[in-house]
Structure 1
């Protein structure tokens, strides 16, 4: 009876049930939290926050959490009402029109492919710290060697996640859930051991290390730049909803999974950052702004225990890439069954053997490796690729929260009869979600040299890379949609639900 009810939910969009419902509440929670991946994000970007804002950058963590919580609350309400694959795309379609929905899906799909590459680069910041054996290219003594080695390690990781995703949702869910369980245990243990080794008080988070000097906005300008280290982490919680067609009782479980993933990430990540700042032996060590948390772990815990924790970071990075690619595959499948992508017939086909869309898995993996390949030898690869991916995700989120707010203000939004609802708090929460999204998008795109072109050679197109790339993706993509795809859009017959008697 429950399965029939969820199938009826899909019928609202005109789709038949093709993906297998096998995922429980922990699986959906694990998908959301592995996409956020506190160990991946904090270990990959701590150096950026410290270098740009000093220890006081820690305050950007609760700031970003509050802003993203407003977005997550809106998404939780949508997840309870529309538990469907390609959540961002299908939500925008319900809230607005096919053009806005396509643009939201296109931005999210492109961002997901770029994110696969961006997250895979995190291997480079941890594996060589464990052993020099993982420095496959050169010695790692210069930025070019490190960037090229990052591409090699990242490509190997993407190959693994592509194979796992192609072989079915059950295998993906088992690996992802096991990885998340290890990551959560490791995060709690890391908090405990760092707390046991503190050398200074929490007032450390008031120190700026003079990072505001020379900035036209003083420390505010430095803090806004440093806040990107937190903004780059707390997103992707909507993945729990994108698995709605493969989840058991998604109307009830998806909203909980979204909110629990974000809240758990905030508390665990915030405590790791705080105790790391309190425990590191030398708060002025240059390695804090170059190596990051990896240096803190080895400095505080020693090489043996420290490397054990770094291996758990590698596990977290692995399941993070797995979750990002899983979300990417569901978005491609969702858009293709509406005939809204090239080669839609192939992309919308669910393998009868594996029960998953195999073509999107292979294509997304190949594209992500291609993005890495064209950046071989580019020291700027880390910040530029990461920034561009996150900007497009924030834009895609706005293409949901803005139409949702318009629907509320025009009286066209009706809360779900059962499940999660914001009730009378809907409008103020939605307003805050939109304002937050707009503000952070501007902050992310601002052409800062220290983000987009921090090392020589200095190129104007790198500094303006966010505007050029994001704008180009939006304009070229939408032009293709307007001239070609919009004339074909509509649920493909192979994916359409059968009409009920009397309809």
Structure 2
């Protein structure tokens, strides 16, 4: 199913040409292939592992209610993104869309922040995957071994990405198949056959807020800040827009289905783990730092430990592979406009029509941050920064769309338009993402490991400030905004009106 009819190719190519670019990447993904990219990056297994222990430690069994709140908030963002992606189906969405909505300087800073958020998130995923490799052999790794293994994961994913979108899709699809079968099966089994507690546990904070020195509302807000991590990555569907057939129609659909499907699995497994865990109080007390594995092995028995490790390892690998591909395509989008350092090299595409220049650059930058893993508090700071830096572009882009909408300079003209509902939906998306940016950046000792240094508590603000200042300095010195090409508005309007 890799061959599209001539009319489809011509439509996609004409649309891309009207937006000022020529087809350089291989356009071979269908809607399922595009969904798989978003699903793999959001990854229910990776997302749940990232938030379950912290969520339960902060708010007990009641933490699970933060997940539907975060899912609904992110669906608002998907609504705004759908209108933008259907009108401008381009790789590097954050940069490309904000350039057309507001202007070059704002667009460049938004794209810069999004790129570093994704690249450092890849650092985090590779580092967090490394211990599972050693768990296969029952070994306890040293920090240098973890870092070297994470580099190995990164290079393997780079190699797969370098062979083009078709091979990437196959690897990611295999990973998703294993993840869905295992996670849905395990979640239902825990809920139906291995439940240790009644559903009342889901309303019980287990005195976690009092133990942490926070109130009930403050604890729930902290969990919402953490829970947002489980629902990011759907914009990976946008990263492969120029490789998706009928992208203007299919990318919005893929984002929606990727987020909803992952959201359903994450919520199912979060509830199942909480109700099947033999001793939730131990998680609150900090004596069980891996409640997911505890619930699974207690329910299924010790024999399940190794197969479960394999599933988790496959999930992390698929997540890293798809996210790395998204980062490479975002860099390619910036570099082909000549607005990223070493643009002539970063914009290169290889014989497999993969953005090899962006792939190499993304891998080098992600690997350069891995030595932080030699110090656990430093890698924790990187995780905190990555969450905040991902939500900041969500907010900036939603705010840009609302500003242009209210000014009358943008009226959605793509395959997806919500008409009069578009403005209130956009307002709600701005309020949600703005709240989440403040919520994540708010310095909380409760979300940091005991005894963590001050810079980890303030990591979100410090990280965003450092990356933002570096971007602003490059903007002032190199002035990349001057090199951004202008689209032909009449050609684009004529095409989109068809």
Instruction: Give the match for residue 207 of structure 2.
Output: 210
Q: Which has the higher helix share?
A: 2
Quick check: 1:126–1:294 contact (8 Å CA) kept in 2?
A: no
Quick check: 1:341–1:485 contact (8 Å CA) kept in 2?
A: no
Quick check: 1:43–1:294 contact (8 Å CA) kept in 2?
A: no
Alignment CA distance shift 1:346-1:172 (3 Å): same
Separation in structure 2 between the aligned mates of residue 487 and residue 220 of structure 1, nearest angstrom: 43
What secondary structure sits across from 1:416 in the alignment?
Answer: coil
Instruction: Give the match for residue 291 of structure 1.
Output: 290
What secondary structure sits across from 2:208 in the alignment?
Answer: coil
Instruction: Give the match for residue 367 of structure 1.
Output: 365
Separation in structure 2 between the aligned mates of residue 67 and residue 405 of structure 1, nearest angstrom: 16
Quick check: 2:196–2:278 contact (8 Å CA) kept in 1?
A: yes
Can you give the 5+ residue segments of structure 1 that lack an aligned partner in the other structure?
Answer: 138-144
Instruction: Give the match for residue 175 of structure 1.
Output: 171
1:6 paired to 2:12: yes
Equivalences for 1:128-167 in 2 at 5 Å? 128-133=134-139, 135-137=140-142, 145=143, 148-167=144-163
Counterpart selection for 1:236 from 230, 233, 241:
233
Alignment CA distance shift 1:459-1:44 (3 Å): closer
Separation in structure 2 between the aligned mates of residue 217 and residue 461 of structure 1, nearest angstrom: 21
Equivalences for 1:278-317 in 2 at 5 Å? 278-286=275-283, 289-317=288-316
Instruction: Give the match for residue 222 of structure 2.
Output: 225
Alignment CA distance shift 1:289-1:95 (3 Å): farther
1:410 paired to 2:416: no
Aligned length: 481
Moved more, 167-176 or 253-262: 167-176
Separation in structure 2 between the aligned mates of residue 206 and residue 484 of structure 1, nearest angstrom: 54
Instruction: Give the match for residue 344 of structure 2.
Output: 345
Instruction: Give the match for residue 467 of structure 2.
Output: 473
What secondary structure sits across from 2:322 in the alignment?
Answer: helix
Quick check: 2:105–2:481 contact (8 Å CA) kept in 1?
A: no
Separation in structure 2 between the aligned mates of residue 312 and residue 215 of structure 1, nearest angstrom: 33
Moved more, 28-37 or 50-59: 50-59
Instruction: Give the match for residue 490 of structure 1.
Output: 484
TM-score of the two chains, using structure 2 as the length reference: 0.91
Alignment CA distance shift 1:265-1:190 (3 Å): same
Separation in structure 1 between the aligned mates of residue 197 and residue 459 of structure 2, nearest angstrom: 40
Q: CA deviation at 1:437?
A: 0.6
CA-to-aligned-CA distance 1:406-441 (integer Å, 9 cap, x gap)? 122222332235x22222211111111100111110
Equivalences for 1:356-435 in 2 at 5 Å? 356-376=354-374, 378-416=375-413, 419-435=415-431
Separation in structure 2 between the aligned mates of residue 382 and residue 209 of structure 1, nearest angstrom: 29
What secondary structure sits across from 1:447 in the alignment?
Answer: coil
Q: CA deviation at 1:482?
A: 2.4
Instruction: Give the match for residue 260 of structure 1.
Output: 257
Instruction: Give the match for residue 444 of structure 2.
Output: 448
Alignment CA distance shift 1:446-1:38 (3 Å): same
What secondary structure sits across from 1:233 in the alignment?
Answer: helix
Q: CA RMSD in A?
A: 2.2
Separation in structure 1 between the aligned mates of residue 45 and residue 331 of structure 2, nearest angstrom: 27
TM-score of the two chains, using structure 1 as the length reference: 0.91
Instruction: Give the match for residue 189 of structure 1.
Output: 185
Quick check: 1:38–1:269 contact (8 Å CA) kept in 2?
A: yes
1:327 paired to 2:326: yes
